[in-house]
A and B are shown apart, each in its own frame.
Chain A
Amino acid sequence: MTPETVADSALSQVRAAPSLDEALVHAGQAVVHALRDAMKAAGISKIEPSLAALQATQLDRLLARSLAEGAVDHRVVRRELDRLMRALSSRAIAAADLKAGILAFDEAAQRIALAAGRGSAFKYPTVGNRARDSLITFARSLHR
């Protein structure tokens, strides 16, 4: 299957999804697939662990949603962090995986914003970004 057909297939599943949650599942898969190709082309190392962490934390769905919205909404991040806290408390996910997922999200978002350039396609500044600050602060709180 060619990359275009995989992405098209995922997008058609997004369109056919009955709910936003299910749509974001497929959207996240499309983004992960495109990310894999982009990271390989850029010569980035440790691709699979990074993408696995992104999917384990379901932050690929946040990335997909943010791409569609053109930016990472700090209110959406707040809700995601609440979800991740609950997952951590119930031991559904380990702190190390959570930290890795947040860092993978942050790096992917930075690279996409860099590629988008100064246009409005996707913005993710490293300064004055409430969403990013919340994510990194949370990751730091998990770091020992």
Chain B
Amino acid sequence: MHNAIDRADVLKYLEKVFPSAGIGVDIMDAKYNIRYIDPCWKKRYGDPAGRKCYQYFMGRKKVCPNCGVAKALRTKKIIVTEEILSAENNRPIIVTTVPFRTKEGEWLVAETNVDIADMKQAQEDLKDSIHWYRSLFEESNDAIFIADAASHMLVDCNKKALAMMGYSRRKLMSMRVEQLHPKESVAFAMKSFKGMVIGKAISTETEIVTKSGKIIPVIITGTLIIAHGKKRLMGVFRDISMRRESEKALALTNSFLSATIESLFTGILVRDLAGKAMLYNKKFIEMWHFPKSIIAAKDDNALLRFAKDQLKDPKLFLKKVKEAYRNPGKERFDILEFKDGRVFERYFRPQILDGKIIGMLWAFHDITMSKINQDKLCASEEKLNKMFVNASVGAVVVSLKGNILLPNKAFCDILGYSSDELSHMTILDITYPQERKYTRQLMKNLLNNNCESFRVEKRYVRKDGVVRWVEVSVSLLHDSHGNPESFLGQVTDITARKQVDEELRLSEERYRVLSESANDAIYMIDKDGRIAYVNTYAAEYFTVNPADMLGKPLSDFFAPETVHMQLREIKQVFRTGVSMHAIREFDFRGQKVWLDTRLCPIITADGMIKYVMGTSRDITLLKRSEAILKRDKMELKELVDKKSSELLASQDKLNRAQRLSDIGAFAATVAHELRSPLAAIRLAAYNIMKKSGMSPIKGNIDNIERKVMESEHIIQDLLLYASIKVPTREPVNACDVSDECLKLTREIFYDYEVEVERDYKCSADTIVQADPIQMKEVFNNVLCNAYESFKKKKGRIKIEIALYQRDYLRILITDNGQGIPPEKMRHIFEPFLSTKAKGTGLGLPVCNQIMNLHNGKIKISSQLNEGTIVSLLFPIRDTIPGGK
């Protein structure tokens, strides 16, 4: 520009420019002197005369740091600088410094200023604006794409766009608008695009597809912008997937809400503040019986009228409605009673949105049934309560701590306390002391959920101190939240049952003992033929423990044939229910065994035969005995017959003895009767003698005396004969007796001359079991007879004593007296037929009797004038009468 610049051109230029621009021009030289000043500057700042430019314009004392003058002069180029006019509020200006050479060759600068404040401002504003719009563009939450309207190429996009699409900027800038959309949406999108191109500002909903293939619903707002002469389309893509989700959710919620509202049992009516019905559900229509016409008419007043007419108190209803309108902020609740007996609950609350009341909501609930049910429930509860109180089973509600809360009457009766007394007591107070710990444990268990309920037998102590057994069933009562609230106990007095149980136990014990101590086999068989019970005796038979036999089949213990027979019989009892008795022979372990068995059905309480009980007695020995007995029967019969005849013989003898004893009693009386007079006679004789004292009558008295004595002797003999009793046996030596009697007889017959020969073969064997007195009687009798047979008081007697035929002792007394005539011999042993002048004739009969009673014999043989032999046989031993 240096020399090329023509001064004249410059000046011309400057002259043209400056005034039109309103810009002053100043010329400075190299020394910063102001050579020319624009008149406007002069006007403004005054005369610069002598002042340097930096002084004048800038107010500096030195050269401006970036002085354009210096620079221009140096470089000889046009310098454009920006300066701040400190003298004018720091107004920004652009200073154009044009160096030029004068004709003289002096370099000068011409400076012009352009106020760029506005420009600057504008620049700033623009910068700001650009920055702001750029920020807007970039930071927008929506993706913004700018595409060329003609080529459809993307020329710009914001951060969000990149993020949304997933491409790099480079890639995206190489794409066309069509590529943003999925195939399905491209056509539609491009249609909108074209629309936007021709100036229609369109907002469309479509889809884009990202780099990863994800399809995002978007709403695109597009505008046409012309920049740099080019038609560009700016599209703001808003991701509406969230909105879509929300819309879907909302739709879902709405449908859900709608369904809910419709399914409610509550009639809902929502009105706006003006009273217009906004929302109501089917139930609302149904419950108020609104006809379709009224609904269709959408006449709210008609609705209200129709409604109020159904109520018992329509005026009150309307009043409440009006109140609600007046003060919708207040929640209300009341009960509507209908003429037809229905009852509704009415609930009112305001509809609030963002803290403001925007409407009114009524909810109606038909509680007619509910009320009825409630009444029923009350009645039911009442009944239940009565039942609880009056139940025959004791019931009590107890707090978790054990305090008695609610005893019923039966419970009070069991305990003997009044309800009031019990309410001050705990359950442990009435529990038997030894069981308190256990009771506490059970309650704790129940609380800890270890069990749902428990049943226990325990003891209570009544008020009067008596202990009762009870069965208690305890469960938990819960409150409405499901938490345990109290215990419920049901109590039954089982004292009686316990006693019965005890008695039953005792009874069972008795039976058990009975069964166990029996000497027979006792067993029980079940329907399957298995052993249900067996007593010790039976088990011992098989040499096992009773326990080892339980549950086993009979076939374990018996042979198959035996089992078959047993089972047949047992099954019969099961079938018929009739007891069976049988005596059977078994083969048991190789031996024949006889059992006497009884089978009886055991019938349970329900009438079913559960078991068959059997008792078996081993009668093997008995049977054997029977057999033996049968064999010996004949022998026994013979034996019995023989013995019978012997017995009859003895009986005869006994009868005779009896007869004799009868005779004895008779004789006694007779004897006594006779003796009394005899005694009197004797006394009288004595008295006579005493009185008279004369010897002449002495002979007579002597006779009387003698005769009395004779009579007495006769009586004695009679008595003797009559009173001969069963001999009292003792060991008697026959020889001694013989000698003794001989001596006596000799004394009686003192004046007789009799030779006695004794031939005794006496030894220990000649001792006989005999009655000594009776034996003596016999001897005496026989010897006396012998003596009396000697007519001339002279004779000979021989006595022989010896064993005879091993079992008898024979005594032979032989005399050589006058003998006994044959005709007398026949009756010799018959009483009262004596041949003697004196004598009772009882002698020999007495002897005969005595001998018979001794099981012996007396035999007499005699020859007239030759003598008599008397044979006495005494048995040595006490043998059975009749023989060996």
Does B bind A? no
